[in-house]
Structure 1
Amino acid sequence: MAAMRVDRRAALALGGGVLAAGALTAGGIAVRSPYAPPPQLPTGSWDPGPATGTYDLGGHRVEIGRPGGPPSGRFRVLRGGTPVWWARAGVIGAARGTLLWTDRLGHFSDRRRLDRVWADARCETAGVVGGDTLRLTGRFGVRPGEGPDWQLTLLSRGDVLEVDLEVPDADLVLLRSDLAVDEAVHGLGAQATDIDLRGQDVVLAAREQGIGRGKQPLTVLAEKTQGAGGSPTTTYAPMPALVTRGLRGLDWSQDRVAEVDLRDRLEVSVWDARITARWRTAATPRELVRTPHDPIPGWTGTGAILGLQGGSAEVRRKLDALDGAAIAGVWLQDWVGRRSTGFGSRLWWTWQLDRHLYPDWDQLVADLTGRGIRVLSYINPFVVDPGEKPGGVDRDLYHEALRRGFLVGHPAGGPYVLDQDGFSAAMVDLTNPAAYAWFGEVIAAMPQTGGWMADFGESLPFDAVLHEGDPRELHNRWPLLWEQLNAEVRGPDEFVFHRSAWRGSRAAHWAGDQLTSWDAHDGMASALLAMLAGGVSGLPQMHSDAGGYTSLDQPVVQTHRDAELLLRWSEWCVWSPVLRTHESNRPEENAQVWDPQASPAFAQQTRVFRELADYRATVVADDLPAIRHCWVEVPGTAAAERDDQYFFGPSFLVAPVLRPGVTGREVSLPPGRWVLVWTGEEYAGDRVTRVRSLIGQPPVFHRVEDAGAAAISRRIRAL
């Protein structure tokens, strides 16, 4: 029997376990998180031996001092006199060992087992090659023959220092750098935690982000009953890239799982015998965080994309309730049909139109197209046995894939069957060229006019059997393979958005599955944090499910959204690349944008979104993140220290309302004169100002001298 697991969307069918775990928690019995950071690796030492000296490599200077010399000079790389990489003690390290994975309910957690650790490095040879390359070789250990050989190559290319460390006999290698006292560290993907990651130990593995992620008692209950609590740094979309307030960036090319330890210094450990990395420097944060990406179709900026479901009649009814709204598309995730589970409403992953739910699909699409509304659908890289689906299917993709050997295999034989809470699914093997092409044809055959959500991508088990390649190498790369397949099928005017990501990603992403709550652990505020972190580490075009996704009805942890949360979430999504709603996993228990309490205000928000269409088009075409931490736009100011406000492009400063029941909030305005969009009032900058905020009007400012932003604001006030 193949191993089974479930994903976040199935993880909280907790039942009576909630009350039992609640009693444990109330009694003071803690549940240890499987994501607890391991002990720090020893710092070690750096003995330069014959490498002592100064080396000029193109635009970089490498200073390697004597062991008895000043600590700051033992290893230092500078560009134009500015330190790029330095270490007072050990610069490199290596180890032998194993990374053991536990895969519970789609939530991967790891345990590091090290048999040998080599922290003391001695250099034995040094040589400059071609004027821009320094090659160092040596051995680990303080005594001759104690540890393995290593080779470290430094190559200067303009403002980039390329680093290549190879230790053939190691399972893990690491690079280490000191950090300045006040040098904040940002990035590493869509990290929904503090923007400054110093003090954290971050494991870069694509995985379910968890439920609660520190919000209590939910996290401890989810962990105790289902192993699904997650941690502040578990994410669908990790990225092997970071930037610092010292205007330096580090990224690396290995796909295997890495650990970035920021508890005392900057230490990157990769579970590989080699790490190839790049230190980058820039004069401004804007230069440091630029990332090329694929374009977002212009039509997405002209109105909301509504997440709707329930069949043709329900779609029409809900649209009628939003008369006067600017609607660019409807996202019909249940085009394949719906099934009920303990977690809520789920989908039939058969990837064929459900004619029972949408009997007049062609007419519905024609009607919507006539109104200028695109139709988007949904897909993920799984297939299911359709045997129990009411009405059956015309084509059984699961057994077709099984018969042709197109499914990811289990080490015990057969397909790797993954339990999704009430139904099982298997993944298409994207390393099999025939399976890859076959599933591309399945995606291309989906009925839609505007694009689709390309869900999942982070679920490849570390012990999977693949047509080609090592799953330990491919686990993190799987989201990129999934993205590439969708990109090959996507038409030029279709909008395809993803949840999981890895280095090299060029697609649009959304910030994952948040709780329908306000909190910064796993609710609305966490979505903003994830988008800010993703933006500076290679994911510049992110948006959020307006209103969140995960709703819970169990005792103790009940989580439902009301109209206030829905509208507050939507109002700042107006100032983002995409305004897209989601009904949640329990639509009947949550406020919806077409409800009478919400529809007038939401319709007004969509019209504001439409007024930003031309401006938005320029923002999303830029290589800078669309949603920018204030540090990117106004470094060195008090505003740059705030994680609860952002710039949408270069012109608009947005301060979302992130607490319930309030009618205003404080905004840290950068130096200069600023105009409140909703009233035209001017405010002095370089201070913290309290601003009134009605529903639909989060504090949004532009500079007095920004004529283009002023014109947009006048149109908004005239709506």
Structure 2
Amino acid sequence: MPPLKISKKHHKHFNNPFPSPPKSLPLIHGTLSHNNTLPCRRVYPIGEDFRLLWSSDNGGYLSVSHSSHPDRSLWSTIPGQAFISAAAVKSEAEESRGSFAMKDGDIKSICRSQTIDEIDTVFSSEIDEARVINHLPIDLLRGLNFPVLVIHGGVSSKKSSFNARFWMLFHQKNSHQIEFQVKLGVLKQEPCASLEGFHSQQWKKSDRHRRRPCFLSCFSGRKDFLGLSSDDEREEEEKVGGSEEVSRVFLTYSSEKDEKIFGFGEQFSHMEFKGRRVPILVQEQGIGRGDQPITFAANLISYSVAIVERRVEAGGQRRGRREAAGKWRKTQAKGSKGSCGQVEKDPGGAGSTQGKQRDWHGGHPWSATIRRILNGCSPVELIERYTETIGRPPVLPNWIITGAIIGMQGGTKYVRNIWSQLKDHDVPVSAFWLQDWVGRRKTILGSQLWWNWEVDTTHYAGWRELVDDLRINNIRVMAYCNPCVVPVTKEKPNKNKDLFEEAKRLDILVKDNNGSIYMIPNTAFNVGMLDLTHPNASSWFKKILHDMVDCGVSGWMADFGEGLPLDANIFSGEDPMIAHNRYPELWARVNREFVEEWKFNGRGKERGDDEESLVFFMRAGFRESPKWVMLFWEGDQMVSWQQNDGIKSSVTGLLSGGLSGFAFNHSDIGGYCGIDFPLINYRRSEELLMRWMELNAFNTIYRTHEGNKPESNCQFYSNRKTFSHFSRFAKVYKAWKFYRVQLIKEASENGLPIARHLFLHYPDDGHIHSLTYQQFLVGTEILVVPVLDKGKKKVKAYFPMGRENCSWQHLWTGKLFRGSLGNSEKMRRGMEAWVEAPIGYPAIFVKAGSPVGKQFMKNLQDFGIL
């Protein structure tokens, strides 16, 4: 297969919430056969706590269970259907400023037929002298926990001579988690071979003196990315002749009809994914994402005209995992390969088995995909066990969760003016986040930032005095940076450094395939991107962060991380398709390591208290980002009421991210992205801003943003009404700080998010499974039902009861709402009710009799809110 072809032209589907199904490659339905020497039914141990059942019934299937519940399947394949398939396909990626669209071209072969030749347990003693076991090099078994359960066989195409050998390796990681890997070798073409022919052959297992069936094919592949599509067959397009690389591998397993699928990282359009196709690729989240008319307009012109100040955004998803409701089980993808998941809807009527299919791009010979299966008794327990693996955030310092973070720009005089008004309105303030601390530059798009990370003392005259004055009043200063640098021209006469030239001399910028610096378009200017696989890049950028902190900065937005080009040439030499998903983790690691080094080795150690701790927040991430990132934010929502990219999507992203291990998250108050087209415009209204203030008073962080078009947007400082409302809900935010501190500590210890989908604590309530943005829990004691529609003054709230038989008390009136008891003790049902929610009085409830609720209301009374 030729390398992945990269195109820089705009793709018209970038801004949709899910890419259109490619027409070239179908959802794979394959057949399964097995060697007649396999037993009809046998249970194989996987370590001490898990077991795998092989049964030849109905064509054959596998089922994994835990010893604590041997009759409950955690993961199983579909009887008679292939669970591993492969294909050789030419692929193309269309790319535009951090947005990617993958499509498939010529199909060389689709290997739909799978055979299982052998299931065997390998012990550590057996590899001491052996060089090959089941034709699998011993080196590929090293590092695994023995004993290892090996399933060996092959996949092939009935209409071509392509075939490949596979190995599926299971081993136990701990008492509640197993890992399995699918490995494929080098692809071969055997024109005269067939699956039936392979079964008639015998081979000798090296150093074990047993004769086993042989499967004579292997696998190699480019690191490509697949979009799955419909069920139409394309076998007639397969071609015979020549060696080819396998670029697609598919893992198909069963899904019960009533199973619900949650997770897949931070998602903005959906909470539950049964029947949906979900790519797992780090990229921009999108403008509009299907909301109209903005998506139509963005698709028309977003490649040639910069819609937003900083970048053109495109539909995409970030950060991935999966969780199944009802069985309390979880599968987790490891590694950084791009992949795609699709869950079939019921194809065969009531009671039939449905399928989930995961595809990942191929690799070099002996490449593997790694998955884990977790056992748990509840969604909460699953998240605890999942985050035990991927990592959890540290406890946030007290200063950042005490009051509002004021996001603004404009220079020293303007900041002092707003600060004075904040004091007049008695607003509790934690920090000023000054995005334009680096100064502003004039471009064809207007005013933009200088990506040369040093304070501009012309724009912020008296910077040090400003920082010191704020600090005396317990207010911090926060800044902005990203992993890119821009050539500094004569337009910036007051520069002290030229970071682009420094990085160029050190040779630590991403290269193109010609070995030149890869200049990446970013609206009106091009930038160089740090090659974070280079050992010198991290230490160089840490010096920049050190200088930033030395000038008085206590925290910063570490922006971007999703835009590493798929055709980049990087220092590590790894495939950029893999490095692309790893890049935000590397970017987070640089920032986190600096925070820890500063704390223990620098001024932080000298000062020695929590109040001096630094904080950074990010939007891009991947599987292990929670291990490194201190705080997330949700990127750039539209300044609209819409579902896929407006205020509603901010709740969906908050809750889906929480299910995926991103415990501390928040959105910009009021949204970010405004649009001014001749016939279409999106401007932040007063009502939207006020409702977003009410919503974000129950986020981890209460932070404003002026948006990409400050002059077109309503701001918290626009008038007396907005200022008063902002002050009111900054105090609401402060009133539950005592509980926030408790939840933050809990998150750092067990991974549970601050804002939670009700599914976490009420999994047996089927009504809750259908909720997306309508309502959420803060911890377990506060229920938030935000107003997310223009002009609405009441909301429909659903009150879960669960097994504790609790009532919910309305914050403003004290009225109690209580669910009803179902037909069994196990199934307690909640109730729905319409609740008044005029502006200033959103529908907030606390558990009746809860100490948290009592303290929250007392604090509100002390602040004069209740």
1:59 to 49, 66, 90: 49
Classify 1:340/1:4 alpha carbon distance in 2 versus 1 (closer, same or farther; 3 Å): farther
2:755 to 606, 611, 627: 627
1:239 to 310, 320, 338: 320
SS at match of 2:581: coil
Q: Which residue of 1 aligns with 2:480?
A: 378
- 8 A contact 2:98–2:562 mirrored in 1: no
Q: Which residue of 2 aligns with 1:43?
A: 29
For residue 662 of structure 1, report the CA deviation from its aligned partner: 1.3
For residue 344 of structure 1, report the CA deviation from its aligned partner: 5.6
2:359 to 269, 272, 275: 269
For residues 15 and 536 of structure 2, what CA distance do their matches in structure 1 show?
A: 45
- 8 A contact 2:654–2:755 mirrored in 1: yes
1:608 aligns with 2:728: no
For residues 579-619 of structure 1, what are the alpha-carbon distances to aligned partners after superposition, in whole Å with 9 as ceiling and x for unaligned? 11101011111111122230001101111111111210111
Q: Which residue of 2 aligns with 1:16?
A: none
1:587 aligns with 2:707: no
For residues 271 and 106 of structure 1, what CA distance do their matches in structure 2 show?
A: 19
Classify 1:226/1:386 alpha carbon distance in 2 versus 1 (closer, same or farther; 3 Å): same
For residues 34 and 645 of structure 1, what CA distance do their matches in structure 2 show?
A: 24
2:553 to 438, 444, 449: 449
For residue 142 of structure 1, report the CA deviation from its aligned partner: 7.2
Classify 1:566/1:353 alpha carbon distance in 2 versus 1 (closer, same or farther; 3 Å): same
Q: Which residue of 1 aligns with 2:171?
A: 155
For residues 551-575 of structure 1, what are the alpha-carbon distances to aligned partners after superposition, in whole Å with 9 as ceiling and x for unaligned? 1111233111112111111211111
Q: Which residue of 1 aligns with 2:416?
A: 316
1:259 aligns with 2:389: no
For residues 286 and 113 of structure 2, what CA distance do their matches in structure 1 show?
A: 38
Q: Which residue of 1 aligns with 2:787?
A: 657
Q: Which residue of 2 aligns with 1:467?
A: 571
1:188 to 257, 264, 267: 264
Q: How does 1:287-326 map to 2 (within 5 A)?
A: 287-290=381-384, 291=387, 292-323=392-423, 324-326=426-428
Q: Which amino acid aligns with 2:32?
A: W
For residues 285 and 462 of structure 2, what CA distance do their matches in structure 1 show?
A: 38
Classify 1:344/1:191 alpha carbon distance in 2 versus 1 (closer, same or farther; 3 Å): farther
SS at match of 2:740: helix
Classify 1:32/1:160 alpha carbon distance in 2 versus 1 (closer, same or farther; 3 Å): closer
Classify 1:263/1:46 alpha carbon distance in 2 versus 1 (closer, same or farther; 3 Å): same
- 8 A contact 2:641–2:789 mirrored in 1: yes
SS at match of 2:792: coil
Provide the identity percentage.
29
For residues 180-208 of structure 1, what are the alpha-carbon distances to aligned partners after superposition, in whole Å with 9 as ceiling and x for unaligned? 11111111111101101122211111111
- 8 A contact 1:192–1:232 mirrored in 2: no
- 8 A contact 2:17–2:289 mirrored in 1: no
SS at match of 1:391: coil
- 8 A contact 1:243–1:288 mirrored in 2: no
Q: How does 1:293-692 map to 2 (within 5 A)?
A: 293-323=393-423, 324-341=426-443, 345-446=447-548, 447-468=551-572, 469-490=574-595, 491-492=598-599, 493-506=613-626, 507=629, 508-596=631-719, 597-621=721-745, 622=747, 623-637=751-765, 638-643=767-772, 644-671=774-801, 672-685=806-819, 686-692=830-836
For residues 680 and 38 of structure 2, what CA distance do their matches in structure 1 show?
A: 60
- 8 A contact 1:345–1:585 mirrored in 2: no
For residue 301 of structure 1, report the CA deviation from its aligned partner: 1.4
Q: Which amino acid aligns with 1:625?
A: P
For residues 683 and 267 of structure 2, what CA distance do their matches in structure 1 show?
A: 24
Classify 1:715/1:133 alpha carbon distance in 2 versus 1 (closer, same or farther; 3 Å): same
- 8 A contact 1:5–1:106 mirrored in 2: no
Q: Which amino acid aligns with 2:299?
A: E
Q: Which residue of 1 aligns with 2:85?
A: 93
For residues 290 and 638 of structure 2, what CA distance do their matches in structure 1 show?
A: 12
- 8 A contact 1:173–1:275 mirrored in 2: no
Q: Larger radius of gyration, structure 1 or 2?
A: 2
For residue 413 of structure 1, report the CA deviation from its aligned partner: 3.7
For residues 193 and 245 of structure 1, what CA distance do their matches in structure 2 show?
A: 22
Q: Which amino acid aligns with 1:268?
A: R
Q: TM-score, normalised by structure 1?
A: 0.92
SS at match of 1:450: strand
For residue 351 of structure 1, report the CA deviation from its aligned partner: 0.7
- 8 A contact 1:633–1:647 mirrored in 2: no
Q: Which amino acid aligns with 1:289?
A: I
Gaps of 5+ in 2: 1-5, 124-145, 186-218, 220-245, 346-354, 600-612, 820-829
Q: Which amino acid aligns with 1:478?
A: Y
SS at match of 2:437: helix
SS at match of 1:543: coil
Q: Which amino acid aligns with 2:29?
A: T
Classify 1:342/1:690 alpha carbon distance in 2 versus 1 (closer, same or farther; 3 Å): farther
1:166 aligns with 2:183: yes
For residue 233 of structure 1, report the CA deviation from its aligned partner: 6.3
For residue 713 of structure 1, report the CA deviation from its aligned partner: 1.9
Q: Which residue of 1 aligns with 2:73?
A: 83
SS at match of 2:259: coil
Q: Which amino acid aligns with 2:812?
A: W
2:110 to 114, 117, 125: 117
Q: Which amino acid aligns with 2:175?
A: G
SS at match of 2:110: strand
For residues 75 and 215 of structure 1, what CA distance do their matches in structure 2 show?
A: 42
SS at match of 2:510: coil
For residues 341 and 557 of structure 1, what CA distance do their matches in structure 2 show?
A: 23
Classify 1:33/1:248 alpha carbon distance in 2 versus 1 (closer, same or farther; 3 Å): closer
1:250 aligns with 2:354: no
- 8 A contact 1:576–1:627 mirrored in 2: yes
For residue 305 of structure 1, report the CA deviation from its aligned partner: 0.7
For residues 405 and 54 of structure 1, what CA distance do their matches in structure 2 show?
A: 58
Classify 1:305/1:635 alpha carbon distance in 2 versus 1 (closer, same or farther; 3 Å): same
Q: Which residue of 1 aligns with 2:372?
A: 278
- 8 A contact 2:669–2:692 mirrored in 1: yes
Q: Which amino acid aligns with 2:316?
A: T
RMSD of aligned C-alpha atoms? 2.6
- 8 A contact 1:126–1:137 mirrored in 2: yes
For residues 447 and 763 of structure 2, what CA distance do their matches in structure 1 show?
A: 45
- 8 A contact 1:254–1:270 mirrored in 2: no
For residues 224 and 440 of structure 1, what CA distance do their matches in structure 2 show?
A: 41
Classify 1:329/1:128 alpha carbon distance in 2 versus 1 (closer, same or farther; 3 Å): same
Classify 1:76/1:543 alpha carbon distance in 2 versus 1 (closer, same or farther; 3 Å): same
Classify 1:65/1:431 alpha carbon distance in 2 versus 1 (closer, same or farther; 3 Å): same
Q: Which residue of 2 aligns with 1:695?
A: 839
- 8 A contact 1:202–1:233 mirrored in 2: no
For residue 354 of structure 1, report the CA deviation from its aligned partner: 1.0
Classify 1:354/1:553 alpha carbon distance in 2 versus 1 (closer, same or farther; 3 Å): same
SS at match of 1:110: strand
Paired residues, number: 694
For residue 386 of structure 1, report the CA deviation from its aligned partner: 1.2
For residues 69-95 of structure 1, what are the alpha-carbon distances to aligned partners after superposition, in whole Å with 9 as ceiling and x for unaligned? 346x62222231111112222211222
- 8 A contact 2:7–2:95 mirrored in 1: no
For residues 478-505 of structure 1, what are the alpha-carbon distances to aligned partners after superposition, in whole Å with 9 as ceiling and x for unaligned? 0000000001112551110001001111
1:103 aligns with 2:79: no
Classify 1:163/1:138 alpha carbon distance in 2 versus 1 (closer, same or farther; 3 Å): same
